[in-house]
């Protein structure tokens, strides 16, 4: 599902209970992460739940690095947050990832005010991990 669809669906829901259910549904749409990818190298540190992010770098037609991301979590709502972060960043050029503010998306959806501090820290950890991978991809072609 693309980010615009997710935002539209999210904004359609008035009740937070419905929004949480939608997040759980989003998590169920994630492409399965191979069992071998559930490893320490892919584990995101700083998350209360277990979260894994797998990053594959390809290039666009101009040779710029593009990050293809897959992820998973052992918690339903967190898995939905992973899906939201992946919708924002996956298949994007590394430079775009570095310039994109996930916090702005979470604020516009009202999630910043409705996530526990632990979950907010986990989201920041996921975003920082993706941006670290994007910086490494940019440096590799420089």
Distance CA 53, CA 42 (A): 5
Is pTM beyond 0.85? Reply is yes
Along the 142 residues of the chain, how does pLDDT read in single tens digits? 799 999 999 999 999 999 999 999 999 999 999 999 999 999 999 888 999 999 999 999 999 999 999 999 999 999 999 999 999 999 999 999 999 999 999 999 999 888 888 899 999 999 999 999 999 999 998 7
Options 23, 47, 102, 134, the catalytic residue: 47
Is 47 an annotated catalytic residue?
A: yes
Domain count along the chain:
1
Res 142: pLDDT: 75
Q: Which domain does 25 fall in, by range?
A: 3-141
CATH number at residue 46: 3.90.1010.10
Res 112: pLDDT: 86
Which bin fits 12, alpha (ψ -120 to 50), beta or left (φ > 0)? alpha
Distance CA 79, CA 74 (A): 7
């Amino acid at each position: 599902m693309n980010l615009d669809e997710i935002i539209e669906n999210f904004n359609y829901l008035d009740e937070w209970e419905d929004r949480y259910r939608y997040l759980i549904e989003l998590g169920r749409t994630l492409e399965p992460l191979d069992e071998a990818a559930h490893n320490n190298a892919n584990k995101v540190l700083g998350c209360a739940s277990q979260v894994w992010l797998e990053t594959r770098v390809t290039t666009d037609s101009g040779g710029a690095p593009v990050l293809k991301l897959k992820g998973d979590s052992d918690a339903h709502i967190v898995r939905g947050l992973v899906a939201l972060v992946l919708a924002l960043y996956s298949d994007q050029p590394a430079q775009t990832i570095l310039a994109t503010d996930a916090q702005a998306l979470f604020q516009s959806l009202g999630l910043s005010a409705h996530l526990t501090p632990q979950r907010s820290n986990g989201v920041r950890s996921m975003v920082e991990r993706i941006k670290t991978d994007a910086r490494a991809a940019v440096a590799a072609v420089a």
